[in-house]
Chains A and B, each alone.
Chain A
Amino acid sequence: MKIATRILVLAMLLPALNWLYVHTSYKSYLFEEADQLLQVEKVANCDVVYTSASSNFSPDPWHESHKKISEFIGESNPELLIEAFNIPASHARIHTILLRRIPPSSSIRTVIATVNLRSFGADWQNSILETPLNKKNVMYADRPPLLNRFLVSLNFYDNKSDLERENIKLDLWAQTTLPLERVKSNVIDWCAEEKWGDWTNPKRQLADQFIKQYAFVLDESNATVHEFDAMIEICKERNWKLIMHILPENIEKADSLVGSDLTDLMVQNATWLERRFIGKGATVINNVDLLPSSCFTDKDFPTEHYNEVGRRSIASSFSNKLKTD
């Protein structure tokens, strides 16, 4: 009886403590540690949601407009209110969790999902940024906020160390076979090919990064593919139109540094994704080879950061799609 009474008191206490937390510290914690959830309210009242990692908002800082791709799309479609989830290094899983938090009563009609080819590769999937992103995800889950905060302090997320992630990545690069000649049969062997001399040569370093980011063959077992499937499901549930945008990659640079073996893989993977997502009922814009190398702002690492010309070109391919559809 004594224990039953205590359990009852505890059961009444926890909702009260949750109420206290929501009305005192919750917002400030979100602001400091998991601020994307605060964007959900803003996004809920728009027509189109644009979900992306840094590709939307990483212009060349020195000499051009800082407008985002989503803003350029908005300029071409003034009748539509477009808002964006911009989360550096994020991917479909995080975007899907945030989309789930949008109230069913929202005015959203269309979701634009950016599909970043690199996010399907071992390097991105096992990035050291995953642990902090996973930690934020705990706060995004649809549970009482105090419970979420408690779960963060209990490390209730995939919190592998940097070393563990690095080892997983190295294993995948060594063990995943590529359908190429023997010296390129996996990422490690391919990188070992000394086309540009030794490690001190910047071209060698960049060529290796291209191989590490794009040398994979997509299939149904890829974890990121399933994350996009979950996004397709939530869009179907909410009756939102989903546009999957396969982002432009620096194919020109990849070709000049590594060669057609790699660019063929990149294009094949993009085409595979296009077919698959269309088959699942999504609209797909495949822009993988849209931009020349000059539109990519980062010169020492393969990224999806574009200059103004690039961002405008992407937006124009998009807005046309929005209009015609």
Chain B
Amino acid sequence: MVFNSLPFLIFFPTIILLYYVLPHRYRWLLLLLASYFFYGFWKVEYLSLIVFSTVVDFYVARYLNQSDVQARRRLALSFSLFSNLGLLFFFKYSNWFMNDVLHPISFISDGNLHFWNSNWNFLLPVGISFYTFQTISYTIDVYYRRITPETNPFKFALFVSFFPQLVAGPIERFSHLNHQLFKRVDFDYANIQNGARLMLYGLFIKMCVADNIAPIVDQIFDSQDEASTQQLWAGMGLFGIQIYSDFHGYSLIAIGAARMLGIKLMDNFNAPYASLSIREFWTRWHISLSSWFRDYLFIPLGGSRVNWLRFGVNILIVFILSGLWHGANWTFIMWGAIHGFYYLIERWTGFSSMKSNAMKPIQWITTMLVVFIAWVFFRSPDIASGLDYISGLLYFHKGSLLLDWNVLLISFIGLFMLSDLAFSNGKISDWLDSKSFVSRWIVYALMIYSIMAFSGTVNHPFIYFQF
């Protein structure tokens, strides 16, 4: 089920109603059933993958908690990592690995590749990267004895599958989410109000901004040879706005939905396009993923307490794997590598540490250039297309592409970018609180009307679903 669908608009109010009607002790069961229904509505057979991850990590974590033999604990952790990452690799990366890695280096023959492609053509399970990372973080935290494991497998199943953040995050930590799922929540109007506001704003930026930009971006990237220099620049900028409004919109709906259930999820974005450096960008963009990589990969690799060469290698490993996390394609690796290399350049030249006000515009422009050029690879089907696109940006040429711009779309984009700077980190709710009842409802009415009358009509699922 996706958030911008009629089934969800029926499903969610029903769950809210039942949640507050049911006695406290049954609520988590309702959420578990609702979460499995939410996921199974898309493809019921893939529920088995969530069940598998849940069972493996539940029992591994219990063993890790009970055992004091370090070698056995390490073996159990390895088993969990192998199971989770193995599933992820099989469903997400195996086709790419066969076709784009092994086959080009002649490690696999044409015949075997054909056999593989004919027999292993399956749909990527939605959200597998998100819930896999969530369960991995749980097992690692238990291994390091940072948390005590859950003793009830069904309660643990809810932590893994909690529907608002199941398919596209935020990637939550057990210590932050689990106790909230089972605490007593009294009906609180403020939760309903704040959650509904976030959901409304999230739907607005997903459906009015991202979905209206999507056809233009598709047109430019799909016909980049026919696009003029200006259109290529516009396409690059618009994709940056599209992916942000798409993913930020999804996260806000997820956070808002959880808030209405009395559960506070972590923020995932904080005005990333206001960043003055790549380092800052990654503290503002997809915060739950960047903090995951920091805590579970970068720091175990030695973090910044190593020599400069090792530090550079660590950074590149983290950024390249972060790119690969997004998808099975060299373009995502390129995207991660661009961020990694520029991060190191900033760090080693001290460019990002310069504090003078005069430097800020230059820092902002260079950061945004790097971020948006990296987006070109993220959006391109292959590295060659990405390089062609970048080269098209660098020399002036006319094009024959006709784009369907309209004033409304430009207004939506402008409104979104302004509101993002003004109400970063989901603070639109605080701003609305300071307004009168009538003013608030004028804002609500405008958003509802825009969503109902002017949303994009091309079927574009959330971009991050594929990850």
A interface residues with partner B (beta carbon < 8 Å): 2-3, 9, 13-14, 17, 20-21, 25, 33, 135, 146-147, 149-156, 159
How many Å from the CB of A98 to the closest CB on chain B?
20
Interface string of B190-212 (1 = CB under 8 A from A): 00100000000000000100010
Contact of B189 among A2, A25, A152 (CB under 8 A): A2
Whether the pair B452, A3 counts as a contact (CB closer than 8 A) is: no
A152, B457: Cα distance in complex, Å: 6
Interface string of B179-191 (1 = CB under 8 A from A): 0000000000100
Nearest-CB residue, chain A, relative to B454? A25
Whether the pair B192, A25 counts as a contact (CB closer than 8 A) is: no
Whether the pair B445, A17 counts as a contact (CB closer than 8 A) is: yes
Instruction: Tell me whether B336 is interfacial, beta carbon within 8 Å.
Output: no
Whether the pair B6, A3 counts as a contact (CB closer than 8 A) is: no
Interface centre among B211, B453, B456, B459 (most CB of A within 10 A): B453
A25, B450: Cα distance in complex, Å: 11
Contact of A9 among B441, B449, B454 (CB under 8 A): B441
Nearest-CB residue, chain A, relative to B445? A13
How many Å from the CB of B187 to the closest CB on chain A?
9
State the majority secondary structure of interface residues on A. Answer: helix
A-B contact pairs, 30 of them (CB 8 A): A2-B189, A3-B192, A9-B441, A13-B448, A14-B448, A17-B448, A17-B449, A17-B453, A20-B449, A21-B449, A21-B452, A21-B453, A25-B454, A146-B452, A146-B453, A147-B452, A149-B452, A152-B457, A153-B211, A153-B451, A153-B455, A153-B457, A154-B4, A154-B5, A154-B6, A154-B9, A155-B459, A156-B5, A156-B6, A159-B459
A152, B6: Cα distance in complex, Å: 10
B residues near A153, Cβ cutoff 8 Å:
4, 207, 211, 451-452, 455-457
A33, B454: Cα distance in complex, Å: 13
Q: For window 157-192 of chain B, which residues contact chain A by CB distance below 8 Å?
A: 189, 192
Q: How many residues of B contact A (CB 8 A)?
A: 20
Interface centre among B9, B189, B452, B456 (most CB of A within 10 A): B452
Whether the pair B453, A149 counts as a contact (CB closer than 8 A) is: yes
Q: Beyond the given A146-B452, A149-B452, A150-B455, could you list 10 further A-B residue pairs with CB under 8 A, ordered by the A residue number?
A: A3-B192, A17-B449, A25-B454, A33-B457, A135-B457, A146-B453, A150-B453, A151-B6, A153-B207, A154-B4
How many Å from the CB of B118 to the closest CB on chain A?
14
A151, B192: Cα distance in complex, Å: 25
Nearest-CB residue, chain B, relative to A156? B6
How many Å from the CB of A296 to the closest CB on chain B?
35
How many Å from the CB of A131 to the closest CB on chain B?
8
A residues near B452, Cβ cutoff 8 Å:
17, 21, 146-147, 149-150, 153
Interface string of B90-103 (1 = CB under 8 A from A): 00000000000000
How many Å from the CB of B372 to the closest CB on chain A?
27
Nearest-CB residue, chain A, relative to B187? A3
B residues near A3, Cβ cutoff 8 Å:
189, 192
How many Å from the CB of B202 to the closest CB on chain A?
15
Assuming the A-B contacts A3-B192, A156-B6, are A150 and B451 also in contact, with contact meaning beta carbons closer than 8 angstroms in the complex?
A: yes
